Amino acid sequence: MEETLLRISEVSKHFGGVYAVNGVSLDIKSGSIWGLVGPNGSGKTTLFNTVLGLFRPDEGTIYFDGRCISNLAPHEIYALGLVNAFQLPRLFPGLSVLDNMLVAARGHQGDRLLNSLFLRKSWQRQEAELADKAVEALELLQLEHLAFSQAGELSGGQRKLLEVGRGLMASPTLLLLDEPAAGVNPKLGRRIFEGIEDLRRKGLSFFIIEHRLEILFDFAHWVYVMDKGKIVVQGKPEEVVENPAFYQVYLGE
């Protein structure tokens, strides 16, 4: 039976008198790809930022893996395995692709002074293991041939793939992606989602904001449609596209 990883219960977030998120409730279960769609300004990114602790919810509660995270700091939520890959990749352009992967890993033992002085073999062994893990992820994303290239030299699509790879280095339980296929050609966009599906088969779960509906709907198991801060439609992709309310959201009819 699928386990509920993320539970959002009656969550609202407002700025002044404007509710960007208004009483949203939804569940994200393990082992699947979950989509969040809606027109610009519907509250999708604000909802993600609230889940990630960048904003505090004004009302409602958020649970991750059975624990309330509504009042946790972003780094505490990250440490629990709830990880985000940004819409605009936040890379270190002067570092190599491989180094960008390595700095995204959690729990570097060598970062601690005593470990670096007295437990050198331990952290050196961890560094080797992390390097192997990074190379494996780069191979999955078809970026291994660029491992020693500077991140600033990558194309837009390659930077998006690297941002996903950096998320993988954090060993997430649930990975939130904000428009992974935006700004890339359809072929590369589909390749990105094929990589996501490969990772899903390996046990990783995804919650994805995406405007490229023709790609998302081929891979998502369940889709939430958001409009004006609320979830207005939900279901399997084939059910969503048959719902008149879905077209009302996008066409304004």
User: SS3 letters for 215-228?
Assistant: HHHHHCCEEEEEEC
- Among the four given CATH numbers 3.40.50.10490, 3.40.50.2300, 1.20.140.10, 3.40.50.300, the one describing domain 4-81+172-251: 3.40.50.300
Using the predicted structure, report yes or no on whether residue 46 has a pLDDT greater than 60: yes
- What distance in Å separates the CA atoms of residue 32 and residue 2, rounded to the nearest whole number? 9
pLDDT in tens, 5-29: 999 999 999 998 899 999 999 999 9
Q: Report the SS3 class of residue 233.
A: strand
pLDDT in tens, 171-217: 889 999 988 887 778 888 888 888 889 889 988 999 999 999 999 99
pLDDT at 110: 44
What is the average per-residue pLDDT within 33-41?
Answer: 94
pLDDT at 107: 58
Using the predicted structure, report yes or no on whether residue 236 has a pLDDT greater than 60: yes
Q: Report the SS3 class of residue 250.
A: helix
pLDDT at 126: 64
- Name the residue among 224, 204, 193 with its Cα closest to residue 30: 204
- What distance in Å separates the CA atoms of residue 90 and residue 178, rounded to the nearest whole number? 13
Query: pLDDT > 70: what percent of the chain?
Result: 89
Judge if pTM exceeds 0.75. Answer: yes
Distances (CA, A) of 156 to 70, 87, 152, 181: 34, 11, 10, 10
- Per domain, the residue ranges of the chain are 4-81+172-251
- Residue with more model confidence, 112 or 176: 176
